[in-house]
Amino acid sequence: MVKSGVRTLYNILFAVCFALSSPYYFVRMRRRGNWQTGFAERFGKYDTKLKQAITNRDTLWMHAVSVGEVNLCTQLIRALEPRLPNLKIVVSTTTTTGMGELRRKLPNHISKIYYPIDHRLYVTRALTTIRPQAIVLVEAEIWPNFLWRARDLGVPVFLVNARLSDRSYRGYQRFGFLFRPLFAALTSIGAQNEADAAKLRNLGCRPEAIHIVGSLKFDAAKLDERRLLDVPALLRQLGVRAGARVIVGGSTHAGEEAILAEQFLRLRAQFPDLFLVLVPRHFERSREVGHELEARALKFAYRSEITAHSEFEPGGLDCLVVNTTGELKYFYEQATIIFVGKSLAAEGGQNPIEPGALGKAMVFGPNMQNFAEVVRGFLEQNGAVQVRDAAELEKVLGGLLADEPRREQLGRNALKVVHENLGALDRTVDMIVEHLATGDLYVAPKRRRAG
């Protein structure tokens, strides 16, 4: 009776919140573009092509919210496929940018869909159509109706690369009457570290279901074998001379672009060849970023507007605004110094592992709460520099631009940290496969690594 009451209350509140928030999210979808494609999938309605692909097949449903999780999910799928040869993999995402990455990175035989809105009808329709043998959620994506229905159907649910920000943790605790049974029902959880494992236990996860496997981001932080963008050629086209110093502001948030632009103007007086690349976390903010640059009389170009026929004079541009998705790592590879965004004028921080995996000198602000354990590892081994405020950021950038040996040492130290933390991908795959092997599914034996 209590369970029924909780579900009823949640569905009433969800319906109200969904009605109130729908206009906002619809506007966001329109701004991101290409929202019509697959729109019906958000309501659990799938086309004939998907239904034919899963007919008479055992299905594994994997979910990655947006671009960051998609990058992890694609690596996980590549590792899982050889171990689960009889399973048809269906992967879902929530955002149009995430879908673009899935389509770009995964082959056609992997079905890509949008995750259903957490309405009881839409979730039931989706799960009834796909009939998964198991579900894998990447990071903490807990939607009650989806998990309730999966539990009612007896579908095992895995949570991988699980991490909880302090804010999410407090929210789950506050509504423990709703979330504790959901966490308790998870089949297996791959936690990044003991701190996250402790939070998950406190939220109701069964201790025996939690496995500390490390962060998948260390294994996933590598360039694709096939280069999708030739950044050196692009920079030459923009008139940036070979060997020029390049500051890349990665996954920046509101306020950080203005800070970097102003510091760039002052630093360029000391380093005339300096060039700035800004990659906003949300590409729909690119025009806003452009206005910030125009206000400071900086000459810039948008990445999406550069064609093979675009021509720029040497030294004609100060900055490139990258308003495309999936290309940040290629710009990181050509950076002299990387500033990791959402750490100075916003809170939480963005992923510092990718710059570390490239052996680059990186700097971030004080607000890296979402990657606290990872940041601690980089700082303890002198693989990154953390600044307290904008004034210190400018001082550190100037010092690093003038000190190539220190930049190289920071990069080597960061790369060492990454190498020491590899292996989470294999441990996560083993966790999933070992559970499925206890059922009726055929699981291929684990292949030994060469050497």
The yes-or-no verdict on residue 440 having pLDDT over 60 is no
In a domain, 117, yes or no: yes
| 391 and 416 part of one domain | yes
In a domain, 12, yes or no: no
- Residue with the two structure tokens 């309730």: 148
CATH number for the domain spanning 345: value is 3.40.50.2000
pLDDT of 141 reads 76
| 131 and 47 part of one domain | yes
| 90 and 238 part of one domain | no
% the chain with pLDDT above 90: 78
In a domain, 194, yes or no: yes
Query: Is the CB of residue 142 less than 8 Å from the CB of residue 163?
Result: no
Q: How far apart are the first and last CA of the chain?
A: 58
Q: Where residue 21 falls among pLDDT bands split at 50, 70, 90?
A: confident
| 62 and 179 part of one domain | yes
| 191 and 58 part of one domain | yes
CA dihedral 279, 282, 286, 292 (to 10 degrees): -80
In a domain, 25, yes or no: no
| 173 and 315 part of one domain | no
pLDDT digit string, tens, across residues 178-208: 999 999 999 999 999 998 999 999 999 999 9
Q: How many domains in the chain?
A: 2
Domain that residue 175 falls in: 38-214+423-436
The yes-or-no verdict on residue 447 having pLDDT over 90 is no
Per-residue tokens: 281: 């976390």
pLDDT of 1 reads 44
Per-residue tokens: 376: 């601690």
Q: How far apart (Å, rounded) are the C-alpha atoms in residues 327 and 224?
A: 11
pLDDT digit string, tens, across residues 134-162: 999 998 778 999 999 999 999 999 999 99
Shortest CA distance to 289 belongs to which of 259, 326, 246? 259
pLDDT digit string, tens, across residues 288-323: 999 999 999 999 999 999 988 888 999 999 999 999
Q: How far apart (Å, rounded) are the C-alpha atoms in residues 321 and 7?
A: 46
In a domain, 272, yes or no: yes
In a domain, 221, yes or no: no
